[in-house]
Amino acid sequence: MAWQVWLAFFGAAWVISLSPGAGAIASMSSGLNHGLRHGYWNIVGLQLGLLLQILIVAAGIGALLASSALAFTVIKWFGVAYLVYLGVRQWRAAPTEVSADTEGRGRSAAALIARGFLVNASNPKAVVFMLAVLPQFLDPAAPLAPQYAAIAATMVAVDVMVMTGYTGLAARVLAVMRSPRQQRVTGRVFAGLFFAAAAFLSLVRRGTTV
């Protein structure tokens, strides 16, 4: 991949990662509920889901997903259901006592990784979007594997930085939300964001882009 092409993709990766979406909401929710250090496990899961999306596009399965109404619909509604589930959990989350050892409480690292992975892996819209965008930065005359590796490394590095920012921002909210009422209101705001993301995903039709 030529330096100029990589630089253009680097800029595009920032735009993609900074765009509000389910991953950003999941990161802020994790920061709010678990703090920055423990919330990192959610970011690990998000990156595993992102790598799966890139692998799907690289393997050519993304084209099948884009052309198959059934496959797109099944994955889309699984994603919608999962976002609604996360919203319900956030809405029903009980307030916690905020102290120096608050970080690390709650869900295990494995559960947060699985949650982050499912948030990204269950979004067919993102796969179709990548299928439309990534080929623009590829040189078909050159070996594709190194180019996809460079794309994956760049996207993951940028997304880790962005999601760390979202998680850290919400963790700061956790530090000042000490009363049960404040925590309950904040939690329900994030629940509403999950519901909104689910509603938005439910309206996506095959062939549309982000």
pLDDT single digits (tens) 19-58: 777 888 889 888 888 888 888 999 999 999 999 989 988 8
Residue type, 37: R
> Where residue 123 falls among pLDDT bands split at 50, 70, 90?
confident
Long-range pairs for 131-138 at CB < 8 Å and ≥24 separation? Answer: 131/57, 131/62, 131/63, 131/65, 131/66, 132/209, 133/12, 133/16, 134/54, 134/57, 137/1, 137/5, 137/6, 137/8, 137/9, 137/12, 138/1
Could you count the other beta carbons within 10 Å of the beta carbon of residue 111? 13
What pLDDT shows up at residue 101? 46
Write down the mean pLDDT value for the chain: 79
pLDDT single digits (tens) 184-205: 777 777 788 778 877 877 776 6
Give one DSSP letter per residue of 30-79, joined into a string: HHHHHHHHHHHHHHHHHHHHHHHHHHHHHHTHHHHHHH-HHHHHHHHHHH
DSSP letter at 141?
Answer: T
pTM, 2 dp:
0.75
> Where residue 97 falls among pLDDT bands split at 50, 70, 90?
low
What pLDDT shows up at residue 117? 95
